A and B are shown apart, each in its own frame.
Chain A
Amino acid sequence: DAGVTQSPTHLIKTRGQHVTLRCSPISGHKSVSWYQQVLGQGPQFIFQYYEKEERGRGNFPDRFSARQFPNYSSELNVNALLLGDSALYLCASGLSGVYNEQFFGPGTRLTVL
């Protein structure tokens, strides 16, 4: 079985642009969570979606938004990119919204110049 997949693997953008990151969960998983991990720090929780509804939201500005599609894949959108948005963006999927059952994808490395 394929694990959690994320695309793209790497991305370079400039300040002010917007970006869309994609995540495909493990087959059968209905929950997707997004995290931002700045180099040398632990991940920061951005969003959790379960059955296409937002179940949790971290302390991120409104420039960050996400959605989950009927096939349970998810997109994370970031508008008006700042240099500080440079990070590894991790997606995790799970059968339910319980965090101990979630599996992480390999991440998307975003660099903002």
Chain B
Amino acid sequence: EDKVVQSPLSLVVHEGDTVTLNCSYEVTNFRSLLWYKQEKKAPTFLFMLTSSGIEKKSGRLSSILDKKELFSILNITATQTGDSAVYLCAVEARRRNNNAGNMLTFGGGTRLMVKP
């Protein structure tokens, strides 16, 4: 069974701090790893990673994938109160039954709270 584990479960920091969120996975037929930010209900897409060692960057957020060690990290520098949210990691994999397409397996999320 595919498994995605995120750590820490929750994190409280102050504005200006840098945080690193972790995502490890065990899946068969890996296709990609995705990061989302969920503030209220609808998750919003952050990054999609398919290749090891290539950093994706968007403003103060960056992410990298290690396909050998089966993990990814999401970094947020100079955190702001607006970064407070649940950050979700998901892995896309092809199902063992080739006719069943791909599926996403999500981790449990990391709840980040940024205090002023």
A residues neighboring B (CB under 8 Å): 4, 33, 35, 40-45, 48, 54-59, 88, 90, 97, 99-107
Residue of chain A at shortest CB distance from B36: A104
Given A43-B88, A56-B95, A56-B100; A106-B41 close (CB under 8 Å) = yes
- Offer 13 A-B interface pairs, CB within 8 angstroms, sorted by A: A4-B42, A35-B106, A40-B108, A42-B106, A42-B108, A43-B88, A43-B106, A45-B105, A56-B95, A57-B103, A90-B41, A99-B48, A99-B90
Known: A45-B104, A59-B1, A99-B32. 19 other contacts (CB 8 A): A4-B42, A35-B106, A42-B6, A42-B106, A43-B43, A45-B103, A48-B102, A55-B101, A56-B103, A88-B41, A90-B42, A90-B43, A99-B34, A100-B45, A100-B48, A103-B42, A104-B44, A105-B42, A107-B41
Interface residues on B, range: 20 to 34
B residues neighboring A (CB under 8 Å): 1, 4, 6, 32, 34, 41-45, 48, 88, 90, 92, 95, 100-109
In the complex, A100→B108 CA distance in Å?
19
A67 CB → nearest B CB, Å: 16
Contact call B44/A44, Cβ cutoff below 8 A: no
Residue of chain A at shortest CB distance from B92: A99
Chain B CB count within 10 A is highest, among A40, A42, A45, A101, for A42
The interface residues of chain B lying within 8 Å CB-to-CB of A35 are: 104, 106
